[in-house]
Amino acid sequence: MRINHVVKTLVWSDFYLESGLAFFAPIFAVFVTGQINGGSLQVVGFAAALTQICKIILEIPIAKYLDKNHGEYDDFYSMVFGSFLMSMAPFMYLFASTVNHIYIISAVYGIGLAFFVPPRFAIFSRHIDKEKENIEWTFKSIAVGIGAAGAAALGGVIAEKFGFSLVFVIAGVVAIMASTYEIKIFKDLKEKVPQGTVRPADGKLP
């Protein structure tokens, strides 16, 4: 099955990004409660909530700003910036020692999500192939699922045998791979996209 370059690249990028971020997911609560001064399950819950709060507060303003331009370059820069911020989170955990550090990292991660999610969906939607909408969204979902499942299992094993630091380093490196992989689509983007354009009839942007 032939899939266009943008969709294929974003699917692989999703795989790498989800693999990196899921790498430490199964051990995050153990890390916070065992390695952070004052860490508790309550802190884990508040950190997760803070991530979503930061994302929710910023996501709509960012999306509205990106829609005003009706071009793809600003979407691209926002997406790469967001994924880069998200990729920094695992490395930041290497230096975390207090509850406040955990909250700061969670906020940074949430801000990254806010910059990443709207343009990611927009670019993917515009470039999806005609009459392949279901299968290409499914490829994206499968990439995320496989990446998360494999990384979560492997992350738990590595954490138990080698400790948290190696897990965070591997997670950060893999996530950064996703950010750099996204750059491959730059040449396929358009400076201006007509308002209301999601997927042109011929499968190509005008």
Judge whether 7 and 129 are in contact, CB under 8 Å.
Answer: yes
CA distances from 41 to 30, 50, 99 (A): 9, 14, 11
Tokens 């700061």 map to which residue? 104
Q: What gap in Å lies between CA 11 and CA 25, rounded to an integer?
A: 21
Q: Which residue has the tokens 């494999």?
A: 150
pLDDT score recorded for residue 202: 47
- Give pLDDT tens digits along the chain (206 positions): 678 889 999 999 999 999 998 998 888 999 999 999 999 999 999 999 999 999 999 999 999 999 887 678 899 999 999 999 999 999 999 999 999 999 999 999 999 999 999 999 999 988 888 888 899 889 889 999 999 999 999 999 999 999 999 999 999 999 999 999 999 998 888 765 655 554 544 444 44
Q: Which domain holds residue 94?
A: 5-184
Tally the domains of the chain. 1
3-state secondary structure 27-88: HHHHHHHHHCECCCHHHHHHHHHHHHHHHHHHHHHHHHHHHHHCCCHHHHHHHHHHHHHHHH
Q: Which of helix, strand or coil describes residue 107? A: helix
Locate 46 and state its tokens: 């508040």
Note the pLDDT of residue 197: 53
The answer to the question of residue 203 being in a domain is: no
Give a yes or no: residue 201 inside a domain: no
Residue at 121 is within a domain: yes
Does residue 199 lie in a domain region?
no
CATH of the domain at 54: 1.20.1250.20
Q: Is 180 among the domain residues?
A: yes
Residue 97 in tokens: 């020692």
114 touches 82 (CB < 8 A)? yes
Measure CA of the first residue to CA of the last residue in the chain; give whole Å.
24
64 token code pair = 């509205």
